[in-house]
Amino acid sequence: MARVGDRVISVEDFRRSYETGFAHLKTGNNPKLTYLKYMINELLLAKEGYRLGFDQSPFVKHSMRRMLNELLIDELIERKVKQHITISMDEIREAINKSKVSFKFRYWVENDAQKAAEISAEMKERGYADVVDELIHSNPEVQINPKSLETRYLTWQQVTPEVFNAIKDLPYGDISDPVEINGKFYIFQVLDIRRKAVTENEYIAKAPTFRKILYQQKLQEGLLQHGTHLMNSKKVVTKKEAFNLLLDAVREWQKKPQNTSPPFVEAVHKASTAQPGLYKLKQHLAESFFTWRDGRMSIKDFLNHFETDKINKKLQDARGLTIALHKAVALTIRDYFLEQEARRLNLQNAPGVKKELARWQDKWVFEETWQYLTRDVQVDSGTVRAYFQAHRSRYQLRKDQPPRFSDVARQVKNDAYHQNILNALNKNLNELSSRYPVHIYRSVLDTITIIDFKKSRWANLQLFRTGSNRLAYPTVNPLWSMEIGREADSERKE
């Protein structure tokens, strides 16, 4: 697509970034060209960042370590699970047949296994409705509408595998034994079952969709089996005392405003007696967090692998946070052993891993360069006022009333600052394009096909990596959207 010095932007690079990039960056008579120029800008800044040594910054090195671990697991899953998935036409037909069966059911949920067993026995003797009415009336402070515990007609695709397994063979009208799902205990009763016929044309039309559904189902089953086998072979034991120390520290850290609190691990290391939960964890860093058949991992080492973004920051109740932390700890330990398995197979040298890691390194070095080149950018009141006068129409809220500066002062200040940022970047980009010559392959650009939205050019498609909430692919920074310095762009060699 383009060459920047000794580096290239490939068709694959462009297509992935463009198709998952922000719509407001795809403007002008040739949206692909506009977007490609933003990608060129970022590669120019990345090359300058490498020259300045930003690939050795703490941010880039930390981000690279995290991403390498994720890519190692991806590659391991590809080789150990994905490559072994097969789906037959008989399986597809069976899945389509199952989709024509829908269940209507109701349920009751308890936090305690013993209590759930007692309620299930009562329901089997007296009936679901009588027992639920009694439970609701005995707890007037908990207002529950029984209808909210009754579902519409649902197929196996619309419920979790755990729920489907609990109801699929449950006779109509019978009460189930308690079923544990995500730490809670559910009691089910099937109210009705509907079945529809399937035509031969439906088998043909729906086969591609159900192949994808079955693939994802088998992938999840394969991941679970591989992870379970791995963990069982390791005989992992998490230390209760260490877990409770971590729980108290996370709870205390989460109560602090996120914009003023440092990252969790940093907060632990900087903790004083004024933060008792964090400080107590700091005092026990050398102790074991978990052990396995062949070794142990200290709390300090565990924190180097633990990421708090695996926990919903909105969880404040004690039980919800405890369950979430148990899950996050389990995933962290599992991923640690998956990473070790991948390293034993030397997957860090797999071509796909190295290529993807290099793409992310370019992105993070670019971000460091952006911050460095704009570190001194400021905006004074005079500049803000001048910007408002030059762009008054942008801030007009009503057709019959001119905009007032006092109503939009904060937005104008942000826009003026943004413009100064882009002015500073474009000044550097003009110099960098001389140092690292740019060439766009127009014949490739004009013939490349991309997937885009038909109904709205403003629609966005963003893909995220499971578990880390990170974008699946590097995409162009949305802050290029204010097109300052367009004249300089047009002067670049094509």
Residue pLDDT, tens place only, 175-194: 999 999 988 999 999 999 99
pLDDT at residue 315, rounded to an integer: 59
For residue 113, the model assigns a pLDDT of 92
pLDDT-derived band at 488 (thresholds 50, 70, 90) equals very low
Say whether pLDDT at 309 is over 90: no
359 & 310 share domain: no
Domain-located, residue 108: yes
**Same-domain status, 368 and 326:** no
Better pLDDT: 193 or 399: 193
Same-domain status, 485 and 398: yes
The domain total for the chain is 3
**338 and 355 belong to one structural domain:** no
pLDDT bin (cut points 50, 70, 90) of residue 297 is very high
> Do the beta carbons of residue 424 and residue 372 sit within 8 Å?
no
167 versus 313: the higher-pLDDT residue is: 167
- Confidence label for 366 from pLDDT (cuts 50, 70 and 90): very high
Give the distance, in angstroms, between the CA of residue 170 and the centroid of all CA atoms in the same chain.
Answer: 36
The 10 Å CB-count burial string (b at 16+, else e) for 277-312 is bbbbbbebbeebbbebeeeebbbbebbebbbeebbe
* Mean predicted lDDT score pLDDT of the chain: 91
Beta bridge partners of 237: 291
State the CATH number of the domain containing residue 433: 1.10.4030
The mean pLDDT value for 48-57 works out to 97
Q: In this predicted model, what pLDDT tens digit does every residue of 238-268 receive, in sequence order? A: 999 999 999 999 999 988 876 677 889 999 9
Domain that holds residue 330: 237-343
CB 24 within 8 A of CB 481: yes
Look at residue 226 and tell me if it is in a domain: no
Q: Are 82 and 209 in contact (CB under 8 A)?
A: no
Indicate whether 149 belongs to any domain: yes
Bridge partners (DSSP) listed for residue 217: none
Q: Report the share of the chain in percent with pLDDT over 70.
A: 95
Please check whether residues 460 and 364 belong to one and the same domain.
yes
For the ranges 47-51, 219-223, 297-301, the lowest mean pLDDT is seen at 219-223
pTM of the predicted structure, to 2 decimals: 0.81
Q: Does any domain span residue 204? A: no
198-212 pLDDT tens trace: 999 999 999 999 999
The answer to whether residues 319 and 375 belong to one domain is no
Q: Looking at 41-45, 131-135, 177-181, 460-464, which range is the least confident one?
A: 460-464
Domain boundary among 324, 343, 362: 343
Name the percent of the chain in helix, strand, coil, to the closest 5: 60, 10, 30
pLDDT at 316 over 90: no
408-418 pLDDT, tens digit per residue, is 999 999 999 99
- Looking at 289, 319, 343, the residue that finishes a domain is 343
Q: Are residues 361 and 483 in the same domain?
A: yes
The answer for residues whose C-beta is within 8 angstroms of residue 265's C-beta and 6 or more apart is 303, 304, 306
375 and 467 assigned to the same domain: yes
Q: Is residue 439 part of a domain?
A: yes
pLDDT at residue 313, as a whole number? 64
Mean pLDDT along residues 44-62: 96
Domain boundary among 163, 178, 195: 195
Residue 474 lies in a domain: yes
* Domain contains 16: yes
Q: Residue 312 — pLDDT band, cuts 50, 70, 90? A: low
Task: Give the sheet arrangement for strand 295-298, strand by strand.
Answer: 237-238, 288-292, 295-298
Residue 79 included in any domain:
no
Indicate whether 183 and 290 sit together in one domain.
no
CATH number for position 174: 3.10.50.40
**In sequence order, what are the residues at sequence separation of 6 or more whose Cβ sits closer than 8 angstroms to the Cβ of residue 280?**
245, 248, 249
Q: How far is CA 421 from CA 132, 376, 390, 417, in A?
A: 62, 9, 18, 6
pLDDT tens digits, 109-128: 999 999 999 999 999 999 99
- Whether 483 has a pLDDT exceeding 80, the answer reads no
Task: Write down the pLDDT at residue 7.
Answer: 95
Write out pLDDT tens, residues 4-43.
999 999 999 999 999 999 989 998 899 999 999 999 999 9
Q: Which range is least confidently modeled, 53-57, 165-169, 465-469?
A: 465-469
Q: Which is higher by pLDDT, 386 or 455? A: 386
Q: Are residues 126 and 150 in the same domain?
A: yes
Look at residue 399 in the predicted model and tell me its pLDDT: 82
Tokens standing for residue 267 = 């907060």
Query: What is d(CA 254, CA 312) in angstroms, rounded to the nearest whole number?
Result: 10
Do 296 and 415 belong to one domain? no
Phi/psi of residue 465, each to 5°? Answer: -75, 135
pLDDT at site 144: 85
Tell me: pLDDT of 484 over 50: no
Same domain as 43, residue 121: no
pLDDT at 467: 66
